[in-house]
Amino acid sequence: MISPKVITHWWQGILARSIAGVLVAALFIGGVSSYLVRQSLSDREQKQAIRRLTEALETVQSTASIAAFTHDAQLASEVVEGLMRTSDILMVKIETDGKILAQDVRSLKAPSVNARLTSDMGIAVHQSSLSKPLVSPFNKTETIGHIILQPDWLMIESRVRQNVQQTLWLLLAEMVAVLLSVAAVMLFFVLRPIKAISDRLHHAAPETGAQIDIPEGHEKTEIGRLVGDVNSITNRLVMLLAHEREIQKQREIAQKKYQNLFDHATSGIFVADKTGRLDSFNPAFSELVWHAYVSQDKDPNLFDAAWQAPEKIKSLFVLALRQETAGRVSTDDFLLRGRRGDERWLSISLASLGDGSLQGTVTDVTARKQEEIQARRLAGMDALTGLANRQGLMEVLSRRTVGDVKKRPFAVLMINLDGFGQINESMGLSAGDDVLKVVADRIRAFIQVDDYSARIGGDEFVLVLEDKFACDAFDHQLRDFFAVLQQPYRMAMPDAVRVISIQASAGVAFYAADSAPGVDAHELLRHAELALMTARSAGGHTYRFFEPQLLVAAEHRRRIEDDLKQALEDGSLYLGFQPIVDLTSGTVVGAESLIRWVHPARGMVPPDIFIPLAEDVGLISEIGLLVLEKACQVVSQWRAKAQPLYVSINVSALQIPNALPPATIISALARHGLPPDALAIEITEGVLMGNVSVAQTWMTQLGEAGLRVYLDDFGTGYSSLSYLKRFPLNAVKIDKSFIHDLAEDSNDKALVNAIVTMAKSLSLDVIAEGVESAEHLSILREMGCRFGQGFLFSPAVQAHLFEETVKDIEQRLAAMPVPW
């Protein structure tokens, strides 16, 4: 470390500067003081001269007075001569009585003395002559003349000048002495030590920690302290340098590591400022963005690449910069268009570096993007019909329900094919699919450009129709659509072409007229669904419009559902048991279990209200299992008391076959240790009318396990006699409507009689329901009806009362007058 030699000229040194400073100060002070000295000297000299001359005048005054008194010119001349001996007197004159008694004038060396005086001296000569009055020696009050004296100012002035010159020479000498001593002091006490330090510093290498010696004799002076400070700074510098070198080394290692990562990463890495100007980037980055960025570029800018939407990148920049403090990474995907029309998706992650610049990584996500797009396209489409699926529909509805309701009103039409399940069952799934495709084609033919169609379930379609029509016109339009839908479908089956006819139901909801602001896609669809349900409840083959009351009803139903679910858990659903009596012996042989629900608020809810509801909402399966379990419990209690009673349970069509499989029933019996004849299953004709083979299999499995199956409500439905033959039934239960008027209505009587007779011939047991009077009893016994149940015997009672009820019934029957 060689410091540049700064002092190159002698006049730049401290010595020269101090001497110059002292010189200037001395000159200034000398100038001022010489002026002042001259002033004061001249002033003083003048005063002194005047005083001296006045004194001289005074000494001769009395003699002059005498001379004047006696008019003695001789004496006066003597006085005048005496005075003239003084060198600085120019003229003396003694006057008396207005006459000159004596006078003497020195011969002048130069003319116009006074003029020269003023100009040379620069001082105004106030008094060019001195005058003293002469008084009488014997009377002081009498003035008898004057003695007048003219001083020689030139003489005085020359003396003043001499004095001034002397003084100034002295001053000059003093100044020179001071200058020399200042220079000497500076040289010896300041300059030499500084020079010594400077030379040593110049040759010292502070980075090695070399110490500088203190110049001799300066151990305790400022110079010594300075050297001490320099040495301690040197020490600190050496330490700092060592530390710095260590850090630098570590940094270089780290730098190398990261440089490798940077250069060879497959992801693009860059650092850019907020305007997109690239500070640095790696080769992968250049390659990825298809932009020939080279380091020679003046201003390589990220935004210059061929982005499809550069403004999106800019907004990502803004976002990343705003999240500066959070230190989070902002990521988004951007499409890049190549020159040959190819595309590339790049994911850019940005993190703020905190100084207004951003660090980013770029990865190629083209493959993922394409998969996503494909997946989204698939996700929104129904593969079978090519219409949109539920997800696609929801997206469209969501989009169209955002914003101003009044802006674009539209109708949502939800269509359900009636009896489609039967086509699937009877003709196979592929036939069903074919039907769906045709339906889709007919829908496509019907809808217009702005409309939208989707299949959201097995046989559920949704149309989103522009509401371009007045309500009547729309009605008309719908009727036409229904006519088209319900046209016969020609199905090409392997063996022949079959023509089938399908009916449809539909629910319509309007967006705008029917919807409160803020109705979203889901609600709108729900409205259409409610309208559809209404149409279906009305028997199908029609359409209904959504009304707000539907929501109320739906809400009501929903509440009951909730309550029902609650009831299943808290046990407010329970079984009642109505005894079944052997009419020939008058004994109780079993009981029909009937489910009861005591609603905490509504009280007793009839099964024909809540069972369909349970079927609708899918609770029937759980209720079925509950019934099975309870029935088994109760019958096992009875059997434990050696009462060979059985319990029948009602099974609805929806429970067959999967909600209540035969295996479940059989295992429940086994679990309670019950024989198969302890349980009977009651089914309705509806079960038999559905999928015949399924019902048949189900019943057969139960029959083979030894369970009895009763056909409930016989006579109310189709009551096809072929059923009785085709299905493995054990008994029929005559519906109570026939029994009620048995005594009065001969038709009913004939019908019941026929049923009993027929059942007997088919070896089926007959159970009459609704036996309410002794008359019924006697008629049925006459007809040979073996079993009966009804209020005559007992209503359904709870399990713990059953035993008592049985006793009561048997006692009452025994007491009846009728012979058994």
Partner 1 sequence: MVNKLLRQFIFATMMLFSAGHAWADLVIVTSEATGISTLSKEDVINIYLGRYRRLPNALPALPIDMAESSEIKKKFYWRLVGKTLAEINSYWSRLIFSGQTQPPAVLNSSEDAIMRILRVPGTIGYIERGTYSKLDKRLVVVLELAE
State the minimum distance, in angstroms, from the CB of residue 98 to partner 1: 16
Q: Which is nearer to partner 1, 98 or 517 (CB)?
A: 98
Phi, psi of 506 (to 5 degrees): -145, 150
| From 22, 72, 337, 582, residue interacting with partner 1 (rule: CB under 8 A) | 72
| From 53, 75, 654, 799, residue interacting with partner 1 (rule: CB under 8 A) | 75
- What's the first-to-final CA gap in the chain, in angstroms? 138
- Provide the 8-state DSSP code for 124: -
Q: Which is nearer to partner 1, 132 or 726 (CB)?
A: 132
The neighbour count for residue 115, using CB atoms within 10 Å, is: 9
State the minimum distance, in angstroms, from the CB of residue 62 to partner 1: 9
State the minimum distance, in angstroms, from the CB of residue 130 to partner 1: 23
Burial status of residue 490 (CB atoms within 10 A of its CB: 0-12, 13-18, 19 or more): exposed
From the list 131-139, 471-479, 534-542, 642-650, the region that binds partner 1 by CB under 8 A is 131-139
From the list 133-141, 497-505, 758-766, 798-806, the region that binds partner 1 by CB under 8 A is 133-141
318-342 b/e with 16+ CB inside 10 Å = b? eebbeeeeeeeebeeebebeeeeee
Tokens encoding 14:
């401290």
| From 23, 73, 201, 758, residue interacting with partner 1 (rule: CB under 8 A) | 73
User: Should residue 425 be labelled a site residue for partner 1 when binding is judged by CB under 8 A?
Assistant: no
| From 69, 270, 577, 787, residue interacting with partner 1 (rule: CB under 8 A) | 69
State the minimum distance, in angstroms, from the CB of residue 135 to partner 1: 13
d(CA 7, CA 15): 12
User: Should residue 70 be labelled a site residue for partner 1 when binding is judged by CB under 8 A?
Assistant: yes
From the list 135-143, 294-302, 397-405, 601-609, the region that binds partner 1 by CB under 8 A is 135-143
User: Should residue 438 be labelled a site residue for partner 1 when binding is judged by CB under 8 A?
Assistant: no
346-405: which residues touch partner 1 (CB under 8 A)? Answer: none
State the minimum distance, in angstroms, from the CB of residue 89 to partner 1: 21
161: left (phi over 0), alpha (psi -120 to 50) or beta: alpha
In this structure, the chain runs to a length of: 820
User: Should residue 138 be labelled a site residue for partner 1 when binding is judged by CB under 8 A?
Assistant: yes
Q: Which is nearer to partner 1, 68 or 362 (CB)?
A: 68
Q: Which is nearer to partner 1, 67 or 305 (CB)?
A: 67
**Nearest alpha-carbon partner for 132 in 179, 159, 96:** 96
d(CA 509, CA 470): 14
| From 66, 123, 182, 689, residue interacting with partner 1 (rule: CB under 8 A) | 66
| From 52, 71, 557, 639, residue interacting with partner 1 (rule: CB under 8 A) | 71
Q: How would DSSP label each residue in 267-317?
A: SEEEEEETT-BEEEE-HHHHHHTT----TT-SS-BGGGS-BS-HHHHHHHH
User: Should residue 78 be labelled a site residue for partner 1 when binding is judged by CB under 8 A?
Assistant: yes
d(CA 346, CA 290): 11
Burial status of residue 294 (CB atoms within 10 A of its CB: 0-12, 13-18, 19 or more): exposed
State the minimum distance, in angstroms, from the CB of residue 91 to partner 1: 21
Q: Which is nearer to partner 1, 79 or 284 (CB)?
A: 79
The neighbour count for residue 736, using CB atoms within 10 Å, is: 18
CA atoms within 13 A on the CB side of 687: 27
Show Cβ contacts of residue 370 under 8 Å, excluding neighbours closer than 6 positions: 345
**Nearest alpha-carbon partner for 755 in 727, 782, 793, 719:** 719
Torsion, CA 135, CA 137, CA 139, CA 145, rounded to 10: -20
User: Should residue 10 be labelled a site residue for partner 1 when binding is judged by CB under 8 A?
Assistant: no
Q: Which is nearer to partner 1, 102 or 348 (CB)?
A: 102
From the list 70-78, 238-246, 633-641, 787-795, the region that binds partner 1 by CB under 8 A is 70-78
From the list 2-10, 72-80, 162-170, 575-583, the region that binds partner 1 by CB under 8 A is 72-80
Q: Which is nearer to partner 1, 69 or 546 (CB)?
A: 69
State the minimum distance, in angstroms, from the CB of residue 65 to partner 1: 10
From the list 134-142, 615-623, 684-692, 769-777, the region that binds partner 1 by CB under 8 A is 134-142
Q: Which is nearer to partner 1, 70 or 267 (CB)?
A: 70
User: Should residue 454 be labelled a site residue for partner 1 when binding is judged by CB under 8 A?
Assistant: no
User: Should residue 137 be labelled a site residue for partner 1 when binding is judged by CB under 8 A?
Assistant: yes
Q: Which is nearer to partner 1, 73 or 321 (CB)?
A: 73
Q: Which is nearer to partner 1, 135 or 435 (CB)?
A: 135
Q: Is the dihedral of CA 122, 125, 128, 131 positive or negative?
A: negative
**Nearest alpha-carbon partner for 412 in 504, 531, 502, 505:** 531
**Nearest alpha-carbon partner for 569 in 604, 619, 618, 637:** 619
User: Should residue 134 be labelled a site residue for partner 1 when binding is judged by CB under 8 A?
Assistant: no
Contacts to partner 1 by CB under 8 A = 63, 66-67, 69-75, 78, 137-139
